[in-house]
Structure 1
Amino acid sequence: MTQTFRGVPEWKIIDYLESVGGKQTNKTTVNAERWQASTKSTTVSIGPSMTLTEVTVKLRGEKEALEEILPKLKQKAMRAGG
């Protein structure tokens, strides 16, 4: 399962993954008992002069565990416009 987040730095996504039960094992990997996540950060252009950080999270593990943590992760990473 892959989820992409824009406008949130990679270190913060890792922090969010830890807050839902994971433990960072290296710079881009977070492990838990029933799931594992790896992150990759890139910069993407939006329009002619603006860029954003985009973090792709690849989640692997038990389906029930992923279904439990993904809504929590999405809620933590939600950014309101303004």
Structure 2
Amino acid sequence: MHHLTPKEVGGTFLPTAQLCIPCHKQIHSLYTNDELEVRLNTIENLRGDEKIHKLMKWIRKQPSTKLVKTKKSIKRRKKR
């Protein structure tokens, strides 16, 4: 379950989205909670994001048994 508004900013009881584990992990490895709160806080915005759209397109082609590795984006790694 993905909180559309991060829990750390009060999203605990706000709307959520049901995502597969690889998609959920990848969203959090691509974007900070600040970015998710401001820009990607609706299903429509998530689907409209270019990186997430590419991920969804690719993941639909994978067998459900495939183990998908998640890697943080270079941009995200530099923010730490």
TM-score when scaled to structure 1?
0.30
- Which structure: greater helix fraction? 2
TM-score when scaled to structure 2?
0.30
- Which structure: greater strand fraction? 1
